[in-house]
Chains A and B, each alone.
Chain A
Amino acid sequence: NAGVTQTPKFRILKIGQSMTLQCAQDMNHNYMYWYRQDPGMGLKLIYYSVGAGITDKGEVPNGYNVSRSTTEDFPLRLELAAPSQTSVYFCASSPRVGNTEAFFGQGTRLTVV
């Protein structure tokens, strides 16, 4: 089973460039999340979605945008990349909302130079 798939695995961006981090899940989960994790730190929630067409901000949404046109896909868009966005990004999905079992992708390591 594929579970949660993130692409790309690694990316280097120049300051001011834009990119989209892709996330797809094949478990038919309504709930999806984007996190960032800085070195040695815990995960910070960027955006989440409770179903197709519905998204909301998490703890650290500034500099990011999301969309959810289908149940399977939840892309994260970075506009005008900044060095502060250098981080590892994780996408996750869950069958229920709240404190429940969530399934994470392998992450995208992004460096902004």
Chain B
Amino acid sequence: LAKTTQPISMDSYEGQEVNITCSHNNIATNDYITWYQQFPSQGPRFIIQGYKTKVTNEVASLFIPADRKSSTLSLPRVSLSDTAVYYCLVGGPNNAGNMLTFGGGTRLMVKP
């Protein structure tokens, strides 16, 4: 599994765009990048997954540069309810050796 590095915490204000970057220098050719969101006292929830360039859904966008050694989760116009921990995972989607393993994540605090 590729090791990932994320900031431990970030602060933002309501209405701002938040970008959380994840470093994964040893990403493998068949690895995907996946982001989960975890609210307090709840299990993690899948947000978005991508392989290269840009992926967008109703919740977030994921930007992946050509070398794929990092990725950025972008949350547009955050609200107080976006306060959560965000986890970046890197691994192959169909590799039996790649069980879902979570690092420490990034704790995002959105302030009024």
Residues of A within 8 A of B (CB): 4, 33, 35, 41-45, 48, 50, 58-59, 90, 92, 94, 96-107
CA–CA, A29 to B29, complex, Å? 27
CA–CA, A100 to B87, complex, Å? 13
CA–CA, A97 to B49, complex, Å? 15
CA–CA, A97 to B32, complex, Å? 13
A45-B43 CB under 8 A given contacts A99-B32, A99-B90, A99-B93: no
A48-B43 CB under 8 A given contacts A42-B105, A99-B32: no
CA–CA, A35 to B104, complex, Å? 14
Report how many A-B pairs have Cβ atoms within 8 Å: 77
Main secondary structure of the interface of B (DSSP, over half): loop
A94-B43 CB under 8 A given contacts A99-B90, A100-B93: no
CA–CA, A97 to B93, complex, Å? 6
- Beta-carbon contact of B94 and A42 below 8 Å: no
CA–CA, A99 to B97, complex, Å? 10
CA–CA, A80 to B105, complex, Å? 31
- Beta-carbon contact of A99 and B100 below 8 Å: yes
CA–CA, A91 to B67, complex, Å? 34
For residue B99, CB closer than 8 A to chain A, the reply is yes
Task: Kindly list chain A residues whose C-beta atoms are within 8 Å of the C-beta of B93.
Answer: 96, 98-100
Q: Which of A4, A42, A97 contacts B98 (CB 8 A)?
A: A97
For residue B77, CB closer than 8 A to chain A, the reply is no
Q: Could you mark each residue 38-53 of chain B with 1 if its beta carbon is under 8 Å from any beta carbon of chain A, else 0?
A: 0001111110010000
- Beta-carbon contact of A90 and B87 below 8 Å: no
CA–CA, A103 to B90, complex, Å? 17
A98-B99 CB under 8 A given contacts A41-B104, A42-B87, A42-B104: yes
Q: Lowest 8 CB-CB distances: which A-B pairs, in order?
A: A104-B43, A99-B91, A98-B98, A43-B102, A101-B46, A42-B102, A42-B104, A98-B95
